[in-house]
Chain A
Amino acid sequence: MRRLTIFDSCGPLRQLLWDYVTGTLPTGSADALRVESHLARCPACRAEAQQFRTAASAIDVYKAAPETGIPPRSPDWASVQARLADPQKEPVTSTANRSWFQAMRTSPGFSAATLACGIGITICTLSIPYMLQQDALQTNHNQLLGGISETVTANREGDRFIKSADAKIDAPVEMMVRPIFIGSEGLTFGEGAHSRNTIPLVASLINHTGREMDVQIDAANPSALATNRYTRRLHLASSEAPQQVYLYPTASFDYRMPYQLQVTLTGPFPDQATRVGYSTYNSGKFVLALVGDKSLGVLQPKQEVITAYRKSIQGKNKPYINYVRSATKPEYAPDRVIGYDGVDTIVLGEGAERLDSKQRTALRDWVMSGGSVIVLPGISLDLLGITPGTPFSIPDPIARLLPPETPLRRYALGMGAVLTVGVDPTQPEYREKWELSYAWEGLRNRAAPIMPSKQLGFNSEFQEQSFGNDPFQVNLPPLASLVYLFAGYFVLAVPVTFVVLKRTRRMNWAWVTGPALAAVFGGAIYGFTAELHKAGLSRRTSGVIVTGAGENKARFDGASEIFFPSAGSYDVTVPGAEAIETGMASNKTYKYSSDDPNRESGNGIISRKLEALDNGTSISVPQMTVPNLAFRRFRHTQPVAWGDGIRTRLTRSANGTIKGTIYNGTGRTLNNAYILLQTSTTKTEIHNKRAYDRHFRNAVLLSRLVPGINRIDSELIPLDSNETNFRSLPGSVSMLYTSPVFYKEGAVPVLIATTSGENVGPRIGQYVGGADAVTVAVTLPNIPSATSVTVQGGVK
């Protein structure tokens, strides 16, 4: 105990011991005296003082040899000076005092490993088709010439073509190209369905060479901005007579440039080129075109006539003319429906009887798909194959011009309509009448189709439904999440790994962690596209099929998408197609193109360069070169075989049910079927695009129509005014527009259904579009009221 106390009391003094033994405490000072006296009494402190003395003297020795234990380093003033000169400069380091980033940069193992896995991730990212959507629809023009067997030794001398050394021929093959529809202001073409612009041309070729040969005609806009190229190949006979061939180039009209179309003839001789089409009428105006020998007359009367008219009506009902006129000779009338794509109403005038059978069929098919024809006196309706018995008369609203005793008759024909007129307005006596313009306007209003072919807008095509192993349903991550992933890798994963490895002094493990990280991140990215890698060559087709009851032919207008799992060159052919055009689609529906560098984009519309090879009976895109995991999309329109068509025997009872049978002779199962009933309207709407609306007010739900006879007994459901239940109807019907119906007799029931797009698209790959990808719209005969009325509980 005592010892402890002494020890404790030693405490403060012991702090002075070292200084005391080294003589730092001034001798004779109070502290020194206290220590001395304490040391005399305390052996423990004496012993410690002795130890301190030893240690202190040792430190003195150490101090005298300051280099002890220290590896020499020569002064490095240069480094200091360099940093003083440039404060931004990084320290000149040996190994330490480096930030992790600097250290990482100079750590070769880690850098190499990081780079390795960075490359790995990048490769995995490339498996996503964002970057792979290169434009691949460029076919080598020269390759097309490989099909021409004729070889003639030829060279050019001046502008003349020399077939052989001694024979000079001014023009071996003459080609004259003219637009089919020519208006007073040049080539006239209107906007077709979903903004398609088909410019129908007729080329007349005369072969002076005295030998038959294969030639090729290309029609394309020479502008680099143009997106489509149209190619037609044909065999030229050795005849000196003109050989006529139709060209239907479909061009994406671009408002950024004046429209030009360059037509090039290529054969075993120097190329010939001609240009057509300098002014256009793609202004949303209504195109009224005459097929006949005369002209439509002066649609715009002289100014004084208009002024006088306006005075007479005192400004009421200001005339509004919103259409352009156009005409073609019957010899040049289109031989395919697509030729009428840009026309709203056709007027058949004198000379139309010269239309050949192919042209007549094309015209009729066009009306069936939603065309509108005004037939002038002298032209038989047989030309259109209309069976009399279904017309109804419309009182002549323009009695000032047309004699009242010649009523207008309207015939329904599929989705379209035919109007017969008793008086020919093209006769000279009407030419200078101010009413002429309005007469045409009134006539075309009354010839309005039920569902205009131009208005087959169906942006809801390719509705998102899953059909098993369907590459089109793979949801690729948005680009932003890839950016986050990369950021996570480079900003988070790499530095964290580095810090961990650095702290654990296992930097060479980077060769393990690097690939592991790459596997994780790359695997995540690959996972996004794993479904695409699994999918095979597949396609889907969506669109609308329209026709009338009893017709054995229908018309398809829509689009197809093809998924190519592996890169290569593919011949894509759509059987029977009349036009293939670039895949116009909205950004929303075409999700894979958002980063396509070659897209033509404006107003959210995407199109792609496309070469259409017209084989006469089908259109193909030859040698479509695609990269891995590529999606390609294009629109196409063509006739569709329709079996025996749809026939109905339906009656409407007093209490609003519809009974009867529907014979489905199409050979297809029609799903989600229902009948829409048009209502007539008294609105004096002008028949232009703005007037097209959904004039359906009642519906009958039928469910499925199997091939054969289907018995119907369904109630009529009113469609509400704000059309919410109309829009909820399946298929693309909500995007179908109809013309206003002025007369009760003109109201036509329309059968709507959905069916598979398997038989209407390109024959390539597996169809994965599902059983409801195509909407069917068929006009039906009027449904008469039941003749027998049952009176409940009473006597008849």
Chain B
Amino acid sequence: MSASLAVWQSKDVSGVPLTTGAENGALLTEQDLIVRSREGDRAAFGQLYLLYETGIYRYAYRLLEDADEADDVRQETFVRAYQSLARFRGEAGFRTYLLTICANLCRDRMRQRQRRPVTSYGLAPSEFSVVSQSFAPESADPFHQLERADQAERVWRALRRLPAAPREILLLRHVEGLEIEEIAQIVGCTKISVPVRLFRARRQFKDLFLALLQEEGE
């Protein structure tokens, strides 16, 4: 009795139950979690949440550049994902499914933002608060680490200068690592037009990035 209770009640700091009635303590695959979630097991969905929330939040932030909004989008993404889980047939991965929802939400937000232009007060977060926490595991050299962090930071700044559409496609391809088909699904265009868009996005990014490098060099 007490043992089973312990299993039910064991939660991590975020309040998500680690296991939910997992038989014999066997590890549950993502597919199992999805099936259980679809059957209404919110705890299983909580596991999925834990798996993907950071990625979704980051993706949203990269597009929206607003932590609160990204946070909202994360919440909304998972709520909608849960509600329309029945429609998720597993053709694409669960991450793609979440990203599709998230991208749509972000696009909605940006559209709203266009109607109500945001005037930001003070400094953008990246310009003052971000101290890269990146420590590449393969290199113990602090200088190397610092250099990489600078480089990542530079990329982010270039990305921020990129308009939303190319930024989105670039992120999906090179940061999220999605295939052309998946990108077409998320962005909502034909498969054929993705490479062209991608090419333009890459080119724009490259120009911006090189311009940043040049600025720093001066």
- Which A positions have Cβ atoms within 8 angstroms of B? 14-15, 18, 51-52, 54-56, 58-71, 73-81, 83-85, 87, 91-97, 502-503, 505
Given A70-B62, A75-B16, A62–B76 Cβ distance below 8 Å? no
Q: Cβ of A78: which chain B residues have Cβ within 8 Å of it?
A: 15
Task: Knowing A67-B134, A70-B61 are in contact, say whether A83-B72 is a contact too (CB < 8 A).
Answer: no
Bound-state Cα–Cα, A61 to B202, Å? 16
Judge if B4 is at the interface, Cβ distance under 8 Å.
no
Is B188 part of the binding interface, using a Cβ–Cβ cutoff of 8 Å?
no
Is B116 in contact with A65, judged by CB distance below 8 angstroms? Answer: no
**In whole angstroms, how far apart are the Cα atoms of A91 and B116 in the complex?**
21
**Chain B residues in 8 Å Cβ range of A14:** 199
Residues of A within 8 A of B115 (CB): 503
B82 on interface, CB distance cutoff 8 Å: yes
Known: A68-B134, A69-B126. A77 touches B174 (CB 8 A): no
- Known A67-B58, A71-B129, A92-B75; contact A55-B149, beta-carbon cutoff 8 A: no
A55 near B136: Cβ-Cβ < 8 Å: no
Residues in A with CB closer than 8 Å to B54 are 75
Q: List 10 A-B contacts (CB under 8 A).
A: A15-B196, A52-B202, A59-B155, A61-B152, A67-B132, A68-B156, A74-B14, A75-B54, A503-B116, A503-B117
Residue B97 is within 8 A (CB to CB) of chain A in the complex: no
In the bound complex, residues from chain B placing their C-beta under 8 Å from that of A59 are 155, 170, 174-175, 205
Known: A77-B14, A87-B83. 5 other contacts (CB 8 A): A15-B199, A54-B210, A58-B154, A63-B177, A75-B14
Closest Cβ of chain A to B144, distance in Å, is: 11
B6 to chain A, nearest CB (A): 20
Interface residues of B in 98-143 (CB under 8 A from A): 109, 115-117, 119, 125-126, 129-130, 132-134, 136
Q: Say yes or no: A94-B209 contact (C-beta < 8 A), given A63-B174, A68-B156, A80-B79.
A: no
Inter-chain CA distance A76–B119, complex, in Å, is 28
Within 8 A of A (CB), among B36-72: 42, 45-46, 49-50, 53-55, 57-58, 61-62, 66-72
A67 CB, nearest partner CB in chain B, Å: 6
Set A61, A64, A80: member contacting B75, Cβ < 8 A: A80
The answer on a CB contact under 8 Å between A96 and B66 is: yes
**Residue in B78, B126, B210 whose beta carbon sits within 8 Å of that of A55 in the complex:** B210
Nearest-CB distance from A44 to chain B (Å)? 13
Instruction: Give chain A nearest CB distance to B183 CB in angstroms.
Output: 14
A96 touches B116 (CB 8 A): no
B70 contacts which chain A residues (CB < 8 A)?
A: 73
**B interface size (C-beta, 8 A):** 67
The 8 closest A-B pairs by CB, nearest first: A65-B134, A94-B68, A62-B155, A69-B156, A68-B152, A55-B206, A65-B152, A69-B126
Counting chain A CB atoms within 10 Å of each CB, which of B15, B73, B196 scores highest?
B15
Which B residues are closer than 8 A to A by beta carbons?
A: 14-16, 42, 45-46, 49-50, 53-55, 57-58, 61-62, 66-76, 78-79, 82-83, 109, 115-117, 119, 125-126, 129-130, 132-134, 136, 148-149, 151-157, 159-160, 170, 174-175, 177, 195-196, 199, 202, 205-206, 209-210, 213
Determine the distance from Cα of A81 to Cα of B47 in the docked complex, in whole angstroms: 12
Given A77-B14, A77-B46, A63 contacting B175 (CB threshold 8 A) = yes
Contact B151 A58 (CB under 8 A): yes
B195 neighbours in A (Cβ, 8 Å): 15
Q: How far is the CB of B208 from chain A (nearest CB, A)?
A: 9
Q: How far is the CB of A727 from chain B (nearest CB, A)?
A: 65
| B-chain residues with CB within 8 Å of residue A94 when the two chains form the complex | 68-69, 71-72
Cβ-neighbour of A96 out of B69, B152, B209 (below 8 A): B69
B16 proximity list for chain A (CB < 8 A): 75, 77
Report whether B76 and A97 are in contact in the complex, using a CB–CB cutoff of 8 Å: yes
List chain B residues, Cβ under 8 A from A505: 119
Q: How far is the CA of A68 from the CA of B153 in the complex (A)?
A: 6
Quick one: given A18-B199, A75-B54, A96-B68, are A84 and B130 in contact (CB under 8 Å)?
A: no
Which residues from chain B contact A80 at a C-beta distance below 8 Å?
Answer: 49, 75, 78-79, 82
Distance in Å from the Cβ of A76 to the closest Cβ of chain B? 7
A62→B130 contact, CB < 8 A? no
> How distant is A70 from chain B, measured CB to nearest CB, in Å?
5
Q: When the two chains form their complex, are residues B75 and A83 in contact, meaning their CB atoms are under 8 A apart? A: yes
Among residues of B, the one whose C-beta sits closest to the C-beta of A92 is B75
Residues of chain B within 8 A of A61, CB atoms compared: 148, 151-152, 155
B15 touches A66 (CB 8 A): no
Residues of A contacting B213 with CB < 8 Å? 54
Tell me if A76 and B75 are in contact (CB < 8 A).
yes
Question: In the complex, what's the smallest C-beta–C-beta distance from B15 to chain A, in angstroms?
Answer: 5
Docked Cα-Cα span, A95 to B116, in Å, equals: 14
Beyond A54-B209, A503-B115, whether A62 also contacts B156 by CB under 8 A is yes
Contacts of B67 in A (CB 8 A): 70-71, 73
Bound-state Cα–Cα, A203 to B152, Å: 110
A100 to chain B, nearest CB (A): 10
Measured between beta carbons, the chain A residues less than 8 angstroms from B42 are: 81, 84-85
Residue of B nearest to A80 (CB): B78
**Closest CB in chain B relative to A398 CB, distance in Å:** 96
CA distance A124 to B57 in the complex (A): 51
Residues of A within 8 A of B129 (CB): 71
